[in-house]
Amino acid sequence: MGRRRGEIWYVDLTDSKGHEQRGRRPAIVLAVSHAGITTVVPLTSQSNALSFPHTHEIQMCSENGLTSDSVALVFQIVSLAGERFINSPIGACSDEDMDAICTILKDMLSIP
């Protein structure tokens, strides 16, 4: 199934290491490559994650399909194979949240 920028999917990160996010969790699609790899920003429901730099709070709403307010862990950006995506998208990120995430990503990567 195709994925599109801004969609929110559950992904399987069960084999993560160290402080990487793990388990089944929602993630926001940033980019889809022609090679079948999709770059995402994982989300957490732990509000204390906002104490880390390069994070963004996302309020749950019917459009994004989240069941709780979440934190986008932009510093944990990761590229995943299609097999890690579970079922179908649960919703879509707002344009405002996507703009904020892109601004944070540019800052994190020192992109002018």
**Ranges of each domain in the chain:** 7-108
pLDDT in tens, 89-98: 999 999 999 9
> Structure pTM?
0.92
Distance of CA 58 to the CA centre of its chain: 11
Cβ atoms of 102 and 74 within 8 Å: the answer is no
pLDDT confidence of residue 16: 65
Q: Does domain 7-108 have CATH number 3.40.120.10?
A: no
Going by C-alpha positions, the residue among 78, 76, 64, 79 that lies closest to residue 104 is 76
Backbone angles phi, psi at 11, to 5 degrees: -125, 155
In the chain, the percentage of residues whose pLDDT exceeds 90 is 84
Residue 41's DSSP bridge partners are 28
pLDDT in tens, 39-64: 999 999 999 999 999 999 999 999 99
Average pLDDT, the chain: 93
What is the mean pLDDT of the segment spanning 64-91? 96
Confidence of residue 1 (pLDDT cuts 50, 70, 90): low
